[in-house]
Structure 1
Amino acid sequence: MFRLQSLGTEYRALIIGNSGALGKAFCEHLRNDPGCAGVTELGRSTTPAVDLEDPTSIAAAAQSLAHQAPYQLIVLTSGLLHRQGVQPEKSLAAIEPEALQAVFQVNALGPALVLRDFLPLLDRKGAMAVLSARVGSIGDNRLGGWYAYRASKAALNMLVKTAAIELARQSPHARLLSLHPGTVQSALSLPFRGAAAARPASQAAMELLSVIDRSLPADSGGFFSYNGERIEW
């Protein structure tokens, strides 16, 4: 039976981005964990709602849940790679300011506000994880392209790293992690090469929860793959 070990008994979890494939899978696993006392879900259609493109919703949701704090686990699963009017760029000539702004809003600016408003709700010995992507690694960039997505995820990684330094001063036993889920069977990966080899969301969520569970306070601020490998910045 799946059970997280590092968060104690009767831990409480908060999943931000509950409507995507990974968000749903996280919620399902946590509800089935006998050590989890409850899962709070947030998304654009929940009450309160969180929309990363609506900064006021982020602060309002955090304020409305403050009385339920602390949470021992917080996971942000949201991200934007493509939608109508937004596609990964194959060249510099394909960059459009509106699409670039939209991708940065969802992948970096919104998460920055989530860190600002929700980290104060984290238990002093808890763990918070934000889903990034290996393509956000500057050192691992060998193919180029995907300018907005790569750059926004690199910015997200810096936000996590910087926030983890501040968190360590206030809560030295807490963990803040940037995680690469790999290619997952979801609407995000479906149109792209490699989707055929994508892993089920349930498997990916289980692997990511295991990475969180095995992490130590010394790992806070790190960038890790779903298999526990540390990824270069």
Structure 2
Amino acid sequence: MAKNGVRAAKAAATRARMLAAARSLFVARGYTATTMRSIADEAGVAVQTMYFTFATKRAVLSELLDAEVAGDTAPVATLERPWVAEALAAPPTELIELLVTGTARIHARVVPVLEVVRSAAAVDPDIAGLWRTNIAQRHTVLTVFAGALAAKAALRANPARAAETMLATLAPECYHLLVHERGWSRDDWERWAADSLVRQLLVD
């Protein structure tokens, strides 16, 4: 591997270590109580490295959230992911089931981090903006799914209302409540969410 390749690989590994440290501390302590220095100490890097790489704590949380949603650091939008293409091409009921399964995979990773964002949003305007952006991104994705569903089947509501119904049913807050607080398994949540959306959206 050339020197540039070695340097890039080392930088990527360090960045990943810092994000992992940030995730651990944000989830354990909350956003406000976590400092850039504490993340640096947890990651085993100088605090200057944290600031050079991310500049601000908000930027750390924002990048961590993006990585947790995606499941990797590849610059590929959700709507361009293979599982989304597979779901959008499926028949109506299967489309809903694949959407729910894909959402469950994302929630299993991201919900603890989203709880950090949601809690901090109440007291930090910058993080409130991050929370609103996340909701808007989810709504954009679900609007595409609602449009695809409307093109394949008769719906009980117009596509805009269908997207909002998906947004509420598949909300990370709902997943957190049922899985993390009430003890449902991920499979339990998937069955409930898929059945709920089929009943609410598709005409018999």
Shorter-chain-normalised TM-score: which range? 0.3 to 0.5
Q: Given the two structures, how large is their TM-score scaled by the length of structure 2? A: 0.38
Q: Which has the larger radius of gyration?
A: 2
More strand by share: 1
More helix by share: 2
